[in-house]
Chains A and B, each alone.
Chain A
Amino acid sequence: MELQKYLDLLVEKYDLPRGAALSGKTLAVGGKTVPLLPWRSERRFIELKNLVHDGTLEGVSAVRISHIAPKGTSLDEMLYKELDVCRWVLDDEIKEIATFRNGATSNTVAETKSGVICTIELAATLAAGTPIVDKHEITARVGVACDRAVDTQVPQSSTYFYTDSPTPVTYTDVDFELYGLNVSDVSTVRCAQAVLADEALADAFIEADKTLTALVALSAKSAGCGENLKAGDAQ
């Protein structure tokens, strides 16, 4: 409900179509239920995509992703997101996938149609409530781009507040218009805004969801059979 309130503010300000209902990670609009892909509206991924396509990087060779989440997080959901990060940032499609799983950990190599190799290392092993630790690094013939600073292993924050505890309380605020929301919720609201601003996105997201769901299933199949599988082998 709270996210709906923030979306309504943007709808009013930017004169967007009214009546859309934001629920979890889906947006009901125009008789469709659109699965949102919020990371596509997250600033770091937008900037990584810009770097790949604006001439800063040349000749992308590999993407390395590490994503460690609290225990109980679905590895399939984590993979769904990270596969889409690869597809969207590179503007490319996954053609092959190989996965090994052990308990709440998973390692996947996906190759895109243009030959970029994407390594996705997942673990759902952190204590409940621990912030996600992730990293996205793109290596090219010219240039490396990464959403984490050199010499750091964990995400940095904008604000560190030290009071009575040896551990600071941290904050990262990224959006003045949506102040008060965390990075993840900001992305969800901005993604919903993008869908309302561009009619074509709804169908594009629905199609992407089908592709990603199939790729996640393919990864599970690979983990089961121990083979490198081509997209289309899931059925």
Chain B
Amino acid sequence: MKPLKIAMMSMTHGHTRKYYQVLKENPKLDWVAVSTANDEVKQVFLDKVSGIPCYDSDEAMLDAHPEIEAVVLASENSDHLRQVKLCAERGIHILSMKIPTFDMAEYDEMERLVKENDIIFQIELELHYNPTVVRMKELAAGVGQMRSFQATNVTLSPVWAFPWQGQPEASYGKRVPLKEGDPRFRGGALCDHPHIFDMIREVTDSEFDTIFAKVGPNIREDLEEEDMLTVIGKMKNGVIFSLDPSWSKKENKLKVPGPGWEIFPKRMEVNITISGDGGTLMTDCFGPNVYENGNPEEKYIVRYTYFDEWVGLVDEFVDNIRFHRTPKIHLARHRGTIAAINACYESIATGKPVKL
């Protein structure tokens, strides 16, 4: 199969560096170029990767490389629609970060552009390509009549390394207060953690019925978005749920992620517990690992042994393009996840459960 000529845009997203290895090593890909949103991320990229042409604007890159067939939009959420237009009008396929947009009018526009230009638009929800999650899906039916789904998707806050995630306009798309009298705005931890909202829809084979969410006081005083929240509710098939999408693991304020980033020993955790009449299934999607207390701070931390989700994700993307297949996570499929996150914000604002 002819290698797919692929490029990356912006390089401001926290997942940018996850693509370096797979874009270089996957024989199905020919990594053509990148465009960077600013000098800072350009330098970070050049420090890590050599031999890939780097441009200062998306347009300059696309004009210089008409051979580009697909692009990874490694950008802040507020830039996605502009880049989708740029790519779609040129017939370039898109691998989008996990949040295409929270604005449903923009979402409609993206769907129109994708359909009219007949391109593949895949959304990066990499958890589906984690082998422990594959096991969980296989075993889930074994709990019998499913009753409850509980999940954490908790991390440190990436805002010091990826500042746009701390800016409500760039993360949520606009400045919307969390609730009356609250100085904080939408765009924080909830916008960073759609995975468990997506996963429950697949595992229960159902859609959200009712959602109730509450924010706690921030554990980071210098953040103008939410970092601690909890979500409970019910799916349309009756399964109840409890979801924790917080930034509950503290971090040092590094400009570039690396050793010494975490304060809590484990940077990121996705644990899922599914209970039914026939039993309980417990899954730690990112464990066990290796543990150390070496440099730079001699603090006890988790050293992850597995972060290969992007291997399977990119394999699927290439096959979707070559065989013109609908991605597992596409815009229509993902709409219910975005709606659920917006419902959480509505519940936080009103103090009441939201019926979907």
Contacts and interface: CB of A to CB of B under 8 A. Distances in A.
A172 B279 contact: no
Given A51-B294, A143-B294, A173-B132, A156 B287 contact: yes
A147 B290 contact: yes
B283 A158 contact: yes
A145 B312 contact: no
A44 B305 CA distance: 6
Contacts of B280: 161-162
B133 to A, nearest CB: 9
A179 B289 CA distance: 18
Contacts of B283: 158-159
B280, B291, B306: most-surrounded residue (chain A CB, <10 A): B291
B132 A144 contact: no
A56 B27 CA distance: 32
A85 B259 CA distance: 25
A146 B295 CA distance: 15
A58 B134 CA distance: 38
Interface stretch (B135-143, B236-244, B249-257, B333-341): B135-143
Given A47-B303, A162-B280, A176-B129, A143 B142 contact: no
B67 interface: no
Interface residues of B, number: 39
A146 B292 contact: yes
A43 interface: yes
A174 B308 CA distance: 9
Nearest to A168: B282
B295 A56 contact: yes
A93 B27 CA distance: 36
A177 B294 contact: no
A179 B280 CA distance: 22
Contacts, number: 125
A47 B305 contact: yes
A57 B295 CA distance: 6
B203 interface: no
B293 A144 contact: yes
A150 interface: yes
A50 B289 CA distance: 14
Contact of B294 (A14, A145, A168, A175): A145
Interface in A35-67: 43-44, 46-48, 50-51, 55-58
B264 interface: no
B134 A173 contact: yes
Contacts of B292: 51, 56-57, 143-146
A56 B259 contact: yes
A21 B63 CA distance: 48
Given A156-B287, A179-B134, A162 B281 contact: yes
Given A159-B282, A176-B130, A176-B309, 18 more contacts: A47-B304, A51-B294, A55-B295, A56-B295, A57-B294, A140-B294, A143-B292, A145-B290, A146-B292, A156-B287, A158-B287, A158-B288, A161-B280, A163-B279, A164-B278, A173-B132, A173-B134, A174-B305
7 contacts: A44-B290, A56-B259, A145-B291, A159-B139, A159-B281, A159-B282, A173-B131
Interface of A: 13-15, 43-44, 46-48, 50-51, 55-58, 140, 142-150, 155-164, 168, 171-177, 179
